Structure 1
């Protein structure tokens, strides 16, 4: 089955700046260099690379800028995507203790920060979106996580699925993004990456490119085709 004639899928990507214990965040480097990297590599057919934004590693203090970025994708006149259903938000965050990539199934409506974020906020057992339920409320991505993970593994990457994005800023952003996705008919996915000391920058850039390509197949085709 080909993608000829189908509207393009637009993928917007975010990463994070430094935070406590991580002076150089690999996701800031990946996201900052992604457009140039994909230009040289060649964009997959059926994909448009939209905004590439680096977020402050902050929860409550970063919500307003986050929603401005999310909303801009819906309002963008430049998007070749004809419907919100063909917009994917791909969020990258670092897990400094990880030895492989992790594709996150879900986020939990709980902010319990182990240390203050970059704006000094340190919530404990606080609902991320109080109107969305208690701290046990879970939201799941509508993208085929298992199939995406298997496809990336076939390409030789050290990658796993995960049901726990933590309770820090990564989970905080993912929960807001999944809530926004449900409200607006878009799609959202969070991926944790290791430090460059564990998996080098070139491999991580290649991984990001493969992730973009495989993610659009999750929208264009049935998961069984991946």
Structure 2
């Protein structure tokens, strides 16, 4: 199995992005699967173009996108991506789409095709906080998750895709004392466990366990 894992560059005034820092530190092999790392720009549409070029080169079985979710305390595995860009801030090239479809011929939403419940349980079993998330936002994180699933449905049949959000690093919250953070080692460990679950659940049904929220 080949797994392409993407991580964004810094954005929103931050000097570092834990996504690409963690992705770069992943093992090259997890549970026998080959891991391919890719840095992508925090830019609408160009991020998908960079990713698609790598997909053509690697021909992965799985695409896992990783992004920063400042304010979240744990690792959150995303359930769904929506066909909507609605940027609160500009991306790294100054684009700020508002209420725009990502793909005009795409579905209103695509659900992750990864075993999200099993991934969460694997991370929690390693002693790291994790949960299912039911919103990837409307910035470039949701955009790339949607694009990955759109490509998997339209161009690369059989490829599975999904997204994981990770917290700020401690150095990012020095001036944000109310914000939670997670050290890079734990983020890498959590991602490794989540990827291990992807491999272990190949061809199997996801766990049927509670992962929902009331709001």
Shorter-chain TM-score: what band?
Answer: 0.7 to 0.9
Structure 2 counterpart of 1:213: 196
Correspondent of 1:190 among 146, 158, 163: 163
2:97 is matched with which residue?
123
Out of 128, 143, 148, which is 1:172 matched to?
143
Residue 112 of structure 1 corresponds to 86
- CA distance change for structure 1 residues 114 and 57 in 2, over 3 Å: closer, same or farther? same
Deviation at 1:151, TM superposition (A): 2.7
Segments of 5+ residues of structure 2 without an aligned counterpart are: 171-180, 209-215
Aligned residues: 197
Contact map agreement 1:17 1:28 (CA 8 A) in 2 = yes
Q: Is the 8 A contact 2:62 2:161 kept in 1?
A: yes
Q: Are 2:115 and 2:207, in contact at CA under 8 Å, matched by a contact in 1?
A: no
Return the alpha-carbon distance in structure 1 between the equivalents of residues 96 and 149 of structure 2: 22
Q: Unaligned stretches of 5+ in structure 1?
A: 1-8, 75-83
RMSD between aligned residues: 2.0
Q: Which has the higher helix share?
A: 1
1:65 to 45, 50, 63: 50
How many angstroms apart in 1 are the aligned matches of 2:34 and 2:55?
16
Q: 1:89 to 1:158 in 2, by over 3 A?
A: same
* CA separation of 1:68 and 1:193: change in aligned 2, threshold 3 A: same
Give matches, 1:22-41, under 5 Å. 22-34=14-26, 38=27
Alignment of 1:73-152 (within 5 A): 73-74=58-59, 87-133=61-107, 137-152=108-123
Residue 203 of structure 1 aligns with which residue?
186
- TM-score normalised by length of structure 1: 0.81
Residues 189 and 156 from structure 1, CA distance in 2 versus in 1: closer, same or farther, beyond 3 angstroms? same
